[in-house]
Each structure stands twice: as C-alpha cells, then as structure tokens.
Amino acid sequence: MSTDTRMDIEQILEYLPHRYPFLLVDRVLSCAPGKDIVALKNVTINEPFFSGHFPHYKVMPGVLIIEAMAQAAAILSFKTTNTKSDDKSVYYFVGIDKARFKKPVIAGDQLILKVAAVRNMRGLWKFSAVAEVDGQVAAEAEILCTMRTL
C-alpha cells in the first residue's frame, strides 16, 4: 500500500458512487491507508444549495460539510481495504458524534478535509474528522460508517 496517494477527480470517481451535485470531494492531497486522508472541496458560488440556503449570505450547510468529511472517510476506507465502490454495496453513515461548527463556510472558500481512522471493528469504522478553511477549524465531528451489501 502507498503511504502517500494524491487523487484527481477521475480517480475519486472510481472510489465514490456520488455524482454531481452530491459529490463533495474535488481532490485528495494525501492518503495514508489505514491512517488518514487530506482532501479538498472547492466551494463555488454555483453550488446548487446557495440559491436557497441564506441567499443573502452564501453559507454552506453544516450537514453538507459533515457529508464532505464522510465522503473523504469513505475514500480512506476503500483505500485501506484495497476495494472500490460498486453497485452491490453501499457505504452508510451510522452515527455522528461531537459535531461542532466553528466558522461559516462561504462561497469562494476552499474546504480542507482532514480525516483520521480511529478504529475498524467488524466493519464499523470510526473516524475523527476536521474541516478547515484558511487553517481555521470550520467544523469537526466523530463519524461512524459501515459498508452494507445490497
């Protein structure tokens, strides 16, 4: 396994089933399978949620920031297990703990997603996740996910 893996959008699409407008990871800056991942999401004014979520102050919804962290976590899980997303399985959220929102994420920001694997027990993954903008924490959470066969 590689200890440092960069991924462009085409490679990300091989690992995540999400597509526009719900794909929330644009690039992977580094990935150490079994350990952690650093990814980014460019938050642009043409995001579909901006027209209805505080139209007078373009704020990315907190639930989508959590979803972006979960998508980065899913890539880390797939890279760790040397698998890819397919049409026979789904990667689900099963819990979000200690979620905190510290700074609004607005149009034009670059969201840096830092996710670390805490443990994997019987297919239940626990991650520690932080989303930053300009080096400041925008959101953080503990995320629980699992893979289910359809």
Domain tally for the chain? Answer: 1
pTM of the model: 0.94
- Structural domain that includes position 66: 9-149
Longest dimension (CA), the chain: 47
Active site residue 53: yes
* Tens digits of pLDDT across the chain (150 residues): 445 689 999 999 999 999 999 999 999 999 999 999 999 999 999 999 998 888 788 899 999 999 999 999 999 999 998 988 888 888 888 999 999 999 999 999 999 999 999 999 988 999 999 999 999 999 999 999 998 888
Whether residue 61 is contained in a domain is answered as yes
Please pick, among 18, 27, 53, 103, the residue that the annotation labels catalytic: 53
Structural domain includes residue 95 = yes
The CATH number assigned to the domain holding 69 equals 3.10.129.10
Residue 67 located in a structural domain: yes
What is the 3-state secondary structure of 63-84?
HHHHHHHHHHHHHHHHHHHCCC
4 within a domain of the structure (yes/no): no
